[in-house]
Structure 1
Amino acid sequence: MNEKPNTELMKIGAMKRNKMKENFVQDLYIEMLLSEIQLTVEKEKLLKKIDSAIDHQDRMTFFRLTGELREINKRFGT
């Protein structure tokens, strides 16, 4: 008689663990996606500033901004 309730409890526990794993993976995916979006926006802004520095022939700003871009690419492996 005690077998069925224990089996049910084990099933419920397994289902909860699976749900927690799914939630963890989903949260991780969302975090990665948001980081990718943030990186893309940051790089786009930087590239626009670099274009502006080129248009204005501002070498110092160009070198500073391209250095920042290199650091971002190095940090994120792109």
Structure 2
Amino acid sequence: MNEKSYTELMKIGAMKRQRRENFVQELYIDMLLSEIQLTVEKEKLLKKIDCAIDHRDKKDFYFLSKQLIEINKRFGT
């Protein structure tokens, strides 16, 4: 005798859809923020690499290049 009415079932279905939509939306926002953070980090690093090249600083250039490789791995490129 624990049967639910059509209206109750529709409400439950709507709530489940809303939760799924919220989850997807949060996932998308998280991915977008991560990409923005990595892009900003990569741009700063590229500027530092350019500066190291301009100053002919091999030590910094190699160090920063290794960091760039790691960022590219995080980017998936």
TM-score scaled by length of structure 2 = 0.92
Residue identity over aligned pairs, in percent, reads 60
Unaligned residue ranges in structure 1 (runs of 5+): none
Q: Which has the larger share of helix?
A: 1
1:34-65 residue CA offsets vs partner (Å, 9 max, x unmatched): 00000000000000000000000000000000
Tell me: higher relative CO, structure 1 or 2? Use CA pairs within 8 A at least 6 residues apart: 2
TM-score scaled by length of structure 1 = 0.91
Distance 1:70 1:54 in 2: 17
Which residue of structure 1 aligns with residue 71 of structure 2? 72
Which residue of structure 1 aligns with residue 40 of structure 2? 41
Distance 2:53 2:71 in 1: 20
CA RMSD between the two structures: 1.3
Aligned-partner residue type, residue 15 of structure 2: K
Tell me the secondary structure at the aligned position of residue 28 of structure 2. Answer: helix
Aligned-partner residue type, residue 37 of structure 2: Q
